[in-house]
Structure 1
Amino acid sequence: MFRPMHRQRGFTLVEIMVAAVIGLMVLAAMTTMFVSNSQSQSEVEKSNRQIENGRYAVQLISDELRNAGYYGEFDPTPLTLPAAVPDPCSVVVADLKAALPLYVQGYDNAAAGQLNCVPDVRVGTDMIVVRHASSCLTSDPDCEINSAGAPLFQAALCGNLSELGSGSSADFYALGATAADMTRHQRDCTATAGSGTPAVVRYLAIHIYFIANNDNAGDGIPTLKRAEIVNNGGTLSVAIVPLAEGIENLQLEYGIDANNNGAADAYSSDPAGYNGCAAIPCALTNWTSVVSAKVHVLARNIEQSSGYTDSKSYVLGDNADGTPNVIAAANDHYKRHAFDATVVLSNPAGRKAP
């Protein structure tokens, strides 16, 4: 039976144009959503990096402060204060010995070029010097400082007249750059000078924390860095180590134990001038009375955020005169966050506690 062929029809031009418009609308919506999600994800990553760097900076400085004044088996209390404020950049062994009583030493609102071994310092931020012996021994291959080396420190346990029995604090320890300088002994020594089992040797950490204007030269990324004295085969020098990008400001307040009981009686961002102190002996005594610290860090994103303006000001502790230390609004496109921590300096506080 013959059946007539049906006429086949395609899409009309109008139908094609309508379908194309609908497709483009869907594609535009999906593209907008994708871009928005990408931007949101980017902002989340920036914020996570900022928080991670800020917390790391505070944790790093806090851990360093908790170790301040630790010199192994040696109690530095009998040491005589230096005649002048120590230069933390000096690599002369005699200067390192003179500075031992000052387990912390700070610079409030540092100026450019204030320390000759600290380059590119961000003006108006604080610098802090921390001194302590390593908790591990030089004989331990896993000791963290082993990679760069540091001055060597040895506490005497020998009671003969050439060491602890001499009555001179200079004989109670050894500090130097080579193994030949390590001449102190364990308790099994005899009355003969230089006899007995050598005392254990530790590295002496001398670290200066500061904020630099740049991570790498000219990149404009403020960065927490550390200047540290390293030991290269018996030659001491200063090395700069970048620690955390995006750290824009560092401010510190120091808890001063005025009653010699191991507790902070007052906080000051400048212990050297605390309580009207002006002369060197008074200033250095105040530094040896520091038993705690408040660490304030301002971290910012490394990259700018489109459509955002930071119009907020930030309070990072107090100034030396007791007024709030207000960091004015930058009015730029970087997001920021402030971090704070209060740290007890366990070693000096413990030595002062009744």
Structure 2
Amino acid sequence: MGKDRQPDAGLLKMRNRQAGLSIVEIMIAMTLGLILLTAVGGFYVAQHRNQRELSNQFAQIENGRYAMDVLTKYLENAGYYGNYVYMDDFPNASATLPSACETDAQYMYSTSTGTNALAFAVQGATSATMSATFPCIPGANLYSDNDAFLVREVDPTPVASSTLVARNVYLQAVARLKDPVITTGNKVASFTLTNLDGSAGEIRRYPPRIFYIGRCLDASAGTCSTGSDIPTLRMLELGDTGAATDFTDSPMVEGIERMVIEYGLDLKGSNHSYVDASGVTHVVQYDGAPDSYSRSLTTTDQWARVVALRITLLARAGRITAGYSDTRSYTLASGVSYTPSGTAANYKRKLFRKTVYLINVGSRRR
């Protein structure tokens, strides 16, 4: 046999050259990889930013809708007092408005000046009259340039006398008697009203509620907790605080920056009655529908005529939108406008409007 054939030297040299990548080829590959990675990373960041912004706007819209639903729920029940039907729809024009922050149950029907407090299903205030009308609202947490209003009503579900909470306020009424009983749960012996068949009159919790805009989601003694400095729809509710009958302040919906209320008045008629040519006095019949709207009511008679509320809310996003500046001027209601400035202009906003009819009040006027 012959000797093994030796490989060609040129072929060996070519194979050696193809055994790996040169430093130039590696650098080119790395550069292309970095470009691709940068593009993918940029796409991911952009998608994440867009998703976050969409979530921010969805939350803003949902908060505005939910806030309107909350207010609607309570207002549609305003003026409901169970079996109490002897409503003084038109208190004397010289009567004094009941205190919106009353905590003494003995004055929640007939006030210290003799006014029927139950005749006023709602009372409200603008920022100019806030401290005088609602001294129970914590001023340190009050968001300026907003309205607030009180709703009087009882809870729809009757409660057993054996389950009354000591410092909660309750109302008992029967259709056959004019005057209801309003007192706290620790005075259960006072609930003695009976129906014609001798059964006990229904007892319902009576928690007046005040709605206002606070500057914080969480606040203690008027100081915003860290990270909670966001305008919030809040509610003061009268009840048992554990030590007294007083208002408890609770956040309802965050991101509600402005609230303006216009009150619809049933104004048909003149002085509630008229005398015809024969000298006969006729009572004017009201239709229970609003004839005009006003933001600032000044008399007892006007508040007794409120049959609807026109609500305007301005909802603000929970987070700043990078690179965004809100240059719009928002027209709210009754000539009230708001133009964001400074850091506040970096948030997106949306207006919500709704008219809510006071069903229980309006139906009594028909």
Structure possessing the higher radius of gyration over alpha carbons: 2
Compare 238-247 and 67-76 and name the one that shifted more: 67-76
Compare 197-206 and 108-117 and name the one that shifted more: 108-117
Among 311, 318, 322, the alignment partner of 2:327 is: 311
Q: What does 1:80-99 align with in structure 2 at a 5 Å threshold?
A: 83-97=95-109, 98=111, 99=117
TM-score by length of 1: 0.83
Partner of 1:202: 204
Deviation at 1:75, TM superposition (A): 1.7
Q: What does 1:1-354 align with in structure 2 at a 5 Å threshold?
A: 2=5, 4=7, 6-7=15-16, 8-78=18-88, 83-97=95-109, 98=111, 99-110=117-128, 113-114=131-132, 115-119=134-138, 120-139=141-160, 150-157=168-175, 159=176, 164=177, 169=178, 172-178=179-185, 179-188=188-197, 196-216=198-218, 217-218=223-224, 219-231=228-240, 235-259=244-268, 260-272=286-298, 283-318=299-334, 324-330=335-341, 332-353=345-366
Identity %: 30
Aligned length: 317
Deviation at 1:261, TM superposition (A): 1.7
Query: Can you give the 5+ residue segments of structure 1 that lack an aligned partner in the other structure?
Result: 189-195, 273-282, 319-323
2:308 counterpart SS class: strand
Alignment-mate amino acid for residue 155 of structure 2: S
1:341 counterpart SS class: strand
Q: Distance in 1 between matches of 2:101 and 2:236?
A: 8
Quick check: 2:165–2:240 contact (8 Å CA) kept in 1? no
- Say if 1:228 and 1:153 are closer, same or farther in 2 by CA, change over 3 A: same
Q: CA RMSD in A?
A: 2.5
Per-residue CA deviation, residues 112-143 of structure 1 (Å, 9 max, x unaligned), is: 644232112112100000001111112499x9
Deviation at 1:149, TM superposition (A): 7.5
1:285 counterpart SS class: helix
Q: Distance in 2 between matches of 1:110 and 1:65?
A: 23
Q: Distance in 1 between matches of 2:320 and 2:166?
A: 35
Quick check: 1:225–1:242 contact (8 Å CA) kept in 2? yes
- Say if 1:261 and 1:53 are closer, same or farther in 2 by CA, change over 3 A: same
Alignment-mate amino acid for residue 125 of structure 2: Y
Query: Can you give the 5+ residue segments of structure 2 that lack an aligned partner in the other structure?
Result: 112-116, 269-285
TM-score by length of 2: 0.80
Alignment-mate amino acid for residue 329 of structure 1: P
- Say if 1:103 and 1:148 are closer, same or farther in 2 by CA, change over 3 A: farther
